[in-house]
Structure 1
């Protein structure tokens, strides 16, 4: 990959993914029940080899998968992404036994994974989480508390759960645990949300965990969380770029054929300039996403800043592009079942999850000032 374009092989792969999403994944998505895990869709993602590729490819390929799927089937994109988000900590930090137990089931679609970080009082401020892991003998704990806004809850089969093992220690006192859904004391309930995929709460009533359930090291779970988010934040941007591209293409087709004021909508300078702006912002966001993913794959030191920039720009851009597309389509775009009605509902949440836009700006500023301090000290 150059700084500005994909190699022909990758471009061809993306085109193939878009076709597969339209032909094989979208029909399964349409048969799914909103608010519930679509296991038939997951099984097809597995048959296509995409779930396995979550753990064998780098950040750039993850972004390309998410962008390509999002253009044709956002439900398939989200199902893929949530499997990766929930199970990446197992892949990256799990013991051989943990990986052997769960990763084959995740990649064949028979086990649904979830990433359980957010709480009612600790969403954007992830270091403030309060789910307590109280000692219960040597290398044993009991989890007590609640998680909220957890995608795939309460239907997931395994949860990456972040709990406080050292009170008052901020981000330094958090441990990541791998918790199967059938663990005693673990309950959940769904939340009725705008998103079509399941989102729910989790209740922990003295849920037993041991050293065998720890992902990484005790009291170092915040690193597990941030490492996972540094990988997935650019790919959230890729999801957003895919939605923006779908909205842009729909708008190009509509304005080129829609009769208005004695010509086509595209003949109006105000419309043509709006479409040009939509294309400009989409391409700028795409390039920033690719740059952040490439930085991650190369082990660059500025990944947190780049990941935050990519997620921020792409999600804000997608909101703008989809909104502009709705405006240019008029009332038809708000009709239930229209592509843009669907995208309008889907595009809002990515500006909040995995760190709201305000959090991303905070990360960017923090990284910039840290870089400035380092430069002055040299």
Structure 2
């Protein structure tokens, strides 16, 4: 059974980009199941019916906590400058991009573009995506670094979201939601706590109860579940984003939204290069940094916008597009950038030099 899970995972993982393309194509042409996933609520708890999407997100974070190795956690105590630098880059660089984009698009005058800018601001304000831990886990990244980015960025997210949205107060007011910023930020904080922080901590506790040996036996099954979960999440998001674009295309608006979201993705993923070179990080840490900085919790962003604005369609467009772009970008990173091992010695997770083959 373990060998079968390992074979399926390796087969799909080597073709991950094409699997993502297939998910987008199926979502565009046959969106009904994806819409059902988004709309389904399950009576899991007494008096509570969380959405299937929330449970899928929680499963990703539970698996991330389950895969957290104590050696990595101990190593993270000595690598806090890297974590702080990554968290700062994840806030400041998108902020700089947002300010530059607002000037480029003529924020003060272009009322039709204000909703797009507000959508980019929401993306920039969101913490690291929970799905980044699954990408990192599947790429044998440093799970302590991945979870650290998710947990600390989530703890900071209410303050960051409040500040980012207030930078675009005019756009928020134009969309009719100026007075609800604080409430929406609180709603996002509750959502992130329930479906990001709590499942990750629960996974860590379960790992402690099971022990390292038993958890190691489950590793390939966990990776396969993560992969299937990721593909289903991408299919569901594509089902929401792509059919309306095909049925009622607004090419000017769509091109602007794609370029804006793509630019933010390039800035976010690109921030890893100077950080990894400055701190001489090895492959496991670089993998976690790429996915942690490049991927945003757009599910929380969608909840935030739906709560914040009465007519959120245009604001949602860049958020949905960024969600598609970030997973495609993660697939490119996983397939190409992480397979390119530099000629110089790398630093492994214990801080010791290692050769090229071991770095893989």
TM bucket, shorter chain: under 0.3
Question: Could you say which structure has the larger radius of gyration?
Answer: 1
The structure that is strand-richer by fraction is 1
> Which structure has more helix as a fraction of its residues?
2
**Structure with more contact order per residue of length (Cα contacts < 8 Å, sep ≥ 6):** 2
Superposition TM-score, scaled by structure 2 size: 0.25
